[in-house]
Structures are given as structure tokens and as C-alpha cells.
């Protein structure tokens, strides 16, 4: 593994990896510990926090709200991002560079500021704060990711397939549906999953834009005051973590399979097989 | 590269969305910061623009001081997570060999678990181990006359530890991408010409990986300047950052115009810094 017998870096990697997983391990331990505080030696293992969680209506409602917001915002962001990616890469439109710059700007604006600004906007138009206003905010911050991921996918394909379709008499709408969309579908799926994850976990923007009905992160922060209910929340968080990890692994697999199948003839860029998050980062730098 | 109408149909909706929900809110915030007070709705035009909130911020030392503190704390967190992440990325690119994708995935998994929960995990750890008391111990230490810049960091020691931990895998990604782009033949050339490994690293690898390093640094610095959750969750009584103050102005201590002015100053600062850094990277390209 290490050349020249230089295991220092391997050890460093291993050590830091342990450090990174340590808090997650603590959470898992906390969720099966029979007590509301973590003290060693553990008093006993239990699954009753998990059982309580399944019976906690308010908590499950928060999960449902988060899922709704994430579903809505990720669909919007993926649709808008994919349309923009095609428009930018396949058309000679005036001001498209300005558009890309603007679309990436949400990455540079601290969420706190965007949250405050959107709060003012909604207040100005007397729009009551709700799950919808949260979803609108999440769409804005997910857009850079979806745009970059779909662009990274589309840029790998020459436009001659589309030209061939149109030379053979297909309308642009038909070409879009039968040629371009199937080509970028894996990118769109990856983009959707990233947008979903970004939204599901988001707290700062949400805290400014949420109404009475909380999403999961808002609920979790609210529950921190009640020590006796907290283990349930952690138990739920672990379930959510497992679900989102599964989603991410699927996204990565889809992207990898997609790029392996269709890009095999082209020189694969350095990040072709890199995970989804990395794809976004790479195109951004 | 033709058919403008279809192109506009594709790009129009995202343009509109961004103008409506990104540009317009920020502009409104800028306008709001000029209002003397909050009386009347936003479309109540019966007010004269004033710079008094900016004056309050710039003359009242405490706000500027806190802004400076927040920038410094964000800088320390970004620098520490970048420094700690660099060897990780280096290991993945140059040492891990075939298993690099697996090792990279293992590194990213913690990043995909909820940001909030990882912070809460630290809260549990800090409370269980008694490290949480560190914040108040620091207060004690301060009374013995620790230097001011030192104290700024000490009050926020748990915040700094927690956020550095949270960001490490995130920063490793752009550095990894940057290192991966380096042409290996350059390193071979250096070795053939007799350069010892450390000098190849200092003269070839490090300079070429700088864009990735700077991107990673900014990716941490920008959100951290506006951070307000972590100080609440793991910080001590004196760990507030500028984000907490802005949040308070829009929450319980209702003063939206003053909060807007402060948010705008912060935004201009962050964007200015980013543009400056982006210019610096470009400049380097011209020099090479």
C-alpha cells in the first residue's frame, strides 16, 4: 500500500478516520443505552428508544414534513438545473456566463444571510411562513449543485447525437425527450439525490423560513431542551442516517454505472468514478 | 448552437427563479437596511432613507469587534480543517493506490450524516467527558490576564474543535480533486533531475495543489462566518459569533433594519474576500 515503507500517512488516515467515526459511534451507543445520559459503565442495552420513536406522532410528523420539503425542493432544483444546464451548454444565448455566475452565487452567500433576505421578501408580500417557503429557499441553495452535476454529465457528450436526430427530422421537443433526457438521466438522478439530502438536513435557512409546523432538524433542535426525550430523537437520526447513506450509495453507483457505460470510449476525466459530492466540487473549482 | 427560442425556454425559468428568490431578496434586504424603523409594511413608502444603522454598527465598537472575532474564528477553523485534510487527500491520491475509491468513500460517509447530528454528538461527548466545562475554565484563565487574541479563541474552543471536525472530510474533497489533476510526469521529471521527495513536494506538488486548497478553505470559511447554530449547541456563555447577533435581530430582539445592515456588511465582506482570492489564483496562472 505505501511505497518506500512510509506508513506515517496511512496511520494518519486511519487515525483521522477513527476520529471522524467516533462521534457517530457515540450517537449509536446513546440510542441503545438504557438511560437519558451517557455514563460509563453503560446501564444496559435497549431498543425501547426506537420503539418510542415509532409511537411519537410529533416526531414522525416532523420527518414527514422534512420529506415533503426535500421532495418538492429537489424536484424543482433538478428540473430548473437540468433545463439550465442544457440551455447553457447547447445554446448560444446572450448573457449565459452571467447566468452561470449568478446560479453559483448561492454557494458563496452564507445561509444565514439568504435566510434573512428571504424572510424579508416573504414578509414584504405577506406570504405566511410555511413548509412551502422553506422549500423555495432550499430550491435556491440546491440549484448550484444540480446545475453543476447535470452540466458535468452533459459536457461529456458531443452534440452530434442531437444534430443527427434533428437532421433526421425530429422536432427539438422530440430530440430533448428521446435523446438528451435519456443521456443526462443518471446525472439528473444523482443531482436529485444530492438536492434531496441538502434539503433534508438543512437547518439555518429553515429556521428563518419555517412556520408552526417543524421539519426534522428544527424539531431536533427544539427537543434538545428535554433530556428525557432526546434518546428517541437520536434513535430516529440513526435511522435517517442509514436511509440517507443508502441513497448516497445508490446515487454513486448510478453515476458510476452511467459513466462507465456511456463514457467508456471517451477519456474518462479524473473524477468520472468519484462520488457524487465530489463531482459537484470538482466542476466548481 | 442555434434555435434561440428553445434555448430561452430552457434557461428562462431558472433565470426567473434566481431573480425572484435570490436577487430580489438580497436587494430588498439592502433597501430594508436604509429604513429608520420597522413601522408600516414594506410597501409603506413613507420613510426617508437613513444610514443610521450603518453608523450604529461602525461607531458602536462591539458589533465590529464581534464581526472581526467571527472572521478570525472562521479563519482558524478553515485553516485548521484545511491543514488536517491535506495529508488525507495526499494519502488518497499518492499512497492509497487501487483502494483509493474505497478509502475516499469511507472518508465521505461521516460527511453525509446529518451536520446537525454530528454537532449534537459533540455536545454529548463534551458533556459526558466534562470537556464542556472547558469554556468556563477558560473564563477563569482569562481572569489571570490571558492576551485578548488568545482569549477570543479560548472562549470558543469547543466551537472551534467541533466545526473543524465537521469540515475535515468536506475540505478533503477539493484538495483531493486538485492533487489528482497534477501530471505525475512532472514529479518523475523532478525525481530524475535529482530533486529529493520533500523538494518535489514543496516546489511541484504544493504549488499545483493550491487552487484546490484555496477552494476548500473558502468552502469552509464562507459558511462558518455566518455560523450561529454551533455556538448555541456546544459553545459556552461567551462563544457567540456575529451570526447569533444577526439571528437575534430577526428573532426575539426585533430590529430588522439593523440586522439587515449587519448582514449586508457581512455579505460584502465575504464576497469581496472571495473575489480577491479568485483574482489571486488567476494571477498565479498568468505568472506561471
Residue-by-residue DSSP string for B34-75: T-S---S-TT--------HHHHHHHHSHHHHHHHHHHHHHHH
Domain B73-242 CATH superfamily:
MetI-like (1.10.3720.10)
Is the pLDDT reported for residue A91 higher than 80?
A: yes
Q: Is A106 on the interface with B (CB under 8 A)?
A: yes
Q: Which segments of chain B have a pLDDT < 70?
A: 1-3, 39-46, 130-155, 236-238, 252-253, 281-288
- A38 domain residue, yes or no: no
Out of B41, B174, B263, the one facing A113 most closely (by C-beta) is B263
- Mean pLDDT over A169-174 rounds to 84
Is the pLDDT reported for residue A232 higher than 90?
A: no
Q: Give the chain A residue whose CA is nearest to the CA of B96.
A: A1
Confidence band (pLDDT; 50, 70, 90) for A77?
very high
> Is the CB of residue B170 less than 8 Å from the CB of residue B179?
no
CB contact under 8 A, A121 and B173: no
Out of A20, A99, A121, the one facing B24 most closely (by C-beta) is A121
The least confident of A252-256, A276-280, B117-121 is: A276-280
Are A164 and A233 part of one and the same domain?
Answer: yes
Q: Give the chain A residue whose CA is nearest to the CA of B224.
A: A110
Alpha carbon distance B111, A5 (integer Å): 30
Out of B26, B110, B115, the one facing A20 most closely (by C-beta) is B110
Confidence band (pLDDT; 50, 70, 90) for A75?
very high
A residues 222-241 near B, CB within 8 Å?
224, 234, 237, 240-241
CB contact under 8 A, B7 and A87: yes
Q: Is B115 on the interface with A (CB under 8 A)?
A: yes
Out of A24, A80, A120, the one facing B25 most closely (by C-beta) is A120
**Which residues constitute the domain of residue A123?**
46-284
Q: In the numeric block, which cell numbers belong to residue B157?
A: 474552543
The whole-number pLDDT of residue B159 equals 86
Is the pLDDT reported for residue A139 higher than 90?
A: yes
CB contact under 8 A, A91 and B113: no
Are A84 and A126 part of one and the same domain?
Answer: yes
Residue with cell 446529518: B114
Alpha carbon distance A54, A68 (integer Å): 19
The whole-number pLDDT of residue B132 equals 64
- A40 domain residue, yes or no: no
CB contact under 8 A, A284 and B165: no
Q: Is B263 on the interface with A (CB under 8 A)?
A: yes
Is the pLDDT reported for residue A264 higher than 70?
A: no
Alpha carbon distance A25, A29 (integer Å): 6
Are A11 and A134 part of one and the same domain?
Answer: no
Q: Is B168 on the interface with A (CB under 8 A)?
A: yes
pLDDT tens digits, B128-157: 776 666 666 555 555 444 445 555 556 678
CB contact under 8 A, B28 and A124: yes
Are A27 and A153 part of one and the same domain?
Answer: no
CB contact under 8 A, B177 and A38: no
B residues 57-76 near A, CB within 8 Å?
none
Candidates A1, A38, A285, partner chain B, best to mutate (most B CBs within 10 A): A285
Is the pLDDT reported for residue A278 higher than 60?
A: no
Q: In the numeric block, which cell numbers belong to residue B252?
A: 426575539
Are A12 and A88 part of one and the same domain?
Answer: no
Q: Is B247 on the interface with A (CB under 8 A)?
A: yes
Candidates B1, B2, B11, B208, partner chain A, best to mutate (most A CBs within 10 A): B11
For residue B123, the chain A residues in CB contact (below 8 A) are 224
> Is the CB of residue B251 less than 8 Å from the CB of residue A119?
no
Are A111 and A226 part of one and the same domain?
Answer: yes
- Top pLDDT among B83 and A162 is at B83
For residue A17, the chain B residues in CB contact (below 8 A) are 106-107
Specify the number of domains making up chain A: 2
For residue A86, the chain B residues in CB contact (below 8 A) are 10
The whole-number pLDDT of residue A80 equals 95
Are A87 and A28 part of one and the same domain?
Answer: no
For residue A147, the chain B residues in CB contact (below 8 A) are 14
pLDDT tens digits, A105-130: 898 899 999 999 999 899 888 888 88
Are A20 and A119 part of one and the same domain?
Answer: no
Is the pLDDT reported for residue A273 higher than 50?
A: no
Q: Give the chain B residue whose CA is nearest to the CA of A82.
A: B10
Question: What ipTM was predicted for this assembly?
Answer: 0.84
Backbone angles phi, psi at B260, to 5 degrees: -60, -45
Q: Which of A233, A231, A209, A208 is nearest to A219 (CA)?
A: A233
**CA dihedral defined by B149, B152, B153, B157, rounded to 10 degrees?**
160
Are A191 and A260 part of one and the same domain?
Answer: yes
* Sequence-ordered list of residues with C-beta below 8 angstroms from that of A95, at least 6 positions apart, any chain: none
Q: Is A170 on the interface with B (CB under 8 A)?
A: no
Are A184 and A253 part of one and the same domain?
Answer: yes
The whole-number pLDDT of residue B133 equals 65
Is the pLDDT reported for residue A231 higher than 90?
A: no
The CATH number of the domain where A176 resides is what?
Answer: 1.10.3720.10
Q: Which of B81, B271, B274 is nearest to B175 (CA)?
A: B81
CA B59 to chain A, closest CA, distance in angstroms equals 22
Q: In the numeric block, which cell numbers belong to residue A188?
A: 439528473
Q: The whole model's pTM is what?
A: 0.83
Are A272 and A171 part of one and the same domain?
Answer: yes
Backbone angles phi, psi at A38, to 5 degrees: -95, 115
Q: Is A92 on the interface with B (CB under 8 A)?
A: yes
Q: Is A271 on the interface with B (CB under 8 A)?
A: yes
- Top pLDDT among A55 and B143 is at A55
- A243 domain residue, yes or no: yes
CA B234 to chain A, closest CA, distance in angstroms equals 12
Residue with cell 475540505: B171
Are A59 and A117 part of one and the same domain?
Answer: yes
Chain mean pLDDT for chain A: 81
CB contact under 8 A, A120 and B28: yes
The whole-number pLDDT of residue B215 equals 86
Amino acid at each position: 500500500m505505501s511505497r518506500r515503507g512510509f506508513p506515517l500517512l496511512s496511520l494518519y488516515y486511519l487515525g483521522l478516520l477513527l476520529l471522524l467515526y467516533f462521534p457517530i459511534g457515540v450517537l449509536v451507543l446513546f440510542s441503545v443505552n438504557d438511560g437519558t445520559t451517557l455514563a460509563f459503565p453503560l446501564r444496559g442495552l435497549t431498543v425501547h428508544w426506537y420503539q418510542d420513536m415509532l409511537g411519537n406522532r410529533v416526531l414522525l410528523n416532523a420527518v414527514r414534513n422534512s420529506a415533503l420539503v426535500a421532495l418538492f425542493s429537489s424536484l424543482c432544483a433538478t428540473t430548473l438545473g437540468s433545463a439550465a444546464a442544457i440551455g447553457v451548454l447547447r445554446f448560444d444565448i446572450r448573457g449565459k456566463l452571467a447566468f452561470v455566475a449568478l446560479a453559483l452565487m448561492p454557494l458563496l452567500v452564507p445561509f444565514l444571510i439568504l435566510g434573512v433576505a428571504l424572510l424579508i421578501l416573504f414578509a414584504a408580500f405577506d406570504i405566511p411562513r410555511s413548509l412551502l417557503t422553506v422549500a423555495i429557499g432550499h430550491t435556491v441553495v440546491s440549484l448550484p449543485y444540480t446545475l453543476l452535476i447535470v452540466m458535468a454529465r452533459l459536457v461529456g457528450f458531443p452534440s452530434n447525437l442531437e444534430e443527427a436526430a434533428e437532421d433526421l427530422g425530429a422536432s427539438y421537443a422530440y430530440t430533448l425527450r428521446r435523446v438528451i433526457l435519456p443521456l443526462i438521466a443518471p446525472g439528473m438522478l444523482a443531482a436529485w439525490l444530492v438536492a434531496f439530502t441538502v434539503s433534508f438536513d438543512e437547518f439555518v435557512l429553515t429556521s428563518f423560513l419555517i412556520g408552526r409546523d417543524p421539519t426534522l432538524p428544527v424539531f431536533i433542535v427544539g427537543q434538545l431542551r428535554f433530556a428525557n426525550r432526546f434518546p428517541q430523537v437520536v434513535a430516529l437520526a440513526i435511522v435517517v442516517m442509514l436511509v440517507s447513506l443508502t441513497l448516497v450509495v445508490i446515487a454513486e453507483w448510478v453515476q458510476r454505472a452511467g459513466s462507465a457505460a456511456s463514457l467508456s470510449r471517451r477519456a474518462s476525466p479524473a473524477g468520472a468514478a468519484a462520488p457524487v459530492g465530489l463531482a459537484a466540487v470538482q466542476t466548481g473549482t | 448552437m442555434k434555435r434561440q427560442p428553445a434555448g430561452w425556454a430552457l434557461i428562462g425559468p431558472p433565470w426567473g427563479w434566481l431573480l425572484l428568490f435570490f436577487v430580489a431578496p438580497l436587494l430588498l434586504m439592502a433597501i430594508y437596511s436604509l429604513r429608520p424603523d420597522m413601522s408600516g409594511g414594506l410597501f409603506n413608502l413613507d420613510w426617508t432613507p437613513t444610514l443610521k444603522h450603518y453608523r450604529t454598527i461602525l461607531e458602536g465598537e462591539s458589533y465590529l469587534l464581534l464581526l472581526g472575532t467571527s472572521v478570525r474564528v472562521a479563519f482558524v477553523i478553515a485553516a485548521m480543517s484545511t491543514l488536517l485534510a491535506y495529508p488525507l487527500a495526499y494519502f488518497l491520491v499518492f499512497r492509497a493506490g487501487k483502494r483509493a475509491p474505497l478509502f475516499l468513500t469511507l472518508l465521505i460517509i461521516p460527511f453525509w450524516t446529518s451536520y446537525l447530528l454530528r454537532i449534537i454528538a459533540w455536545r454529548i461527548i463534551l458533556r459526558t467527558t466534562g470537556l464542556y466545562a472547558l469554556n468556563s475554565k477558560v473564563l477563569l484563565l482569562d481572569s489571570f490576564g490571558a492576551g485578548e487574541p488568545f482569549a477570543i479563541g479560548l472562549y470558543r474552543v469547543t466551537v472551534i474543535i467541533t466545526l473543524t471536525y465537521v469540515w475535515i472530510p468536506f475540505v478533503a474533497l477539493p484538495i483531493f480533486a486538485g492533487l489528482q489533476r497534477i501530471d505525475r510526469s512532472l514529479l518523475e521529471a523532478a525525481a530524475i533531475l535529482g530533486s529529493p521527495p520533500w523538494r518535489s513536494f514543496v516546489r511541484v506538488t504544493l504549488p499545483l495543489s493550491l487552487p484546490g486548497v484555496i477552494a476548500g478553505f473558502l468552502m469552509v470559511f464562507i459558511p462558518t462566518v455566518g455560523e450561529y447554530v454551533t455556538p448555541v449547541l456546544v459553545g459556552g456563555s461567551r462563544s457567540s459569533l456575529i451570526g447569533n447577533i444577526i439571528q437575534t435581530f430577526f428573532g426575539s430582539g426585533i430590529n430588522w433594519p439593523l440586522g439587515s445592515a449587519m448582514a449586508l456588511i457581512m455579505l460584502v465582506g465575504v464576497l469581496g474576500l472571495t473575489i480577491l482570492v479568485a483574482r489571486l489564483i488567476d494571477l498565479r496562472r498568468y505568472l506561471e
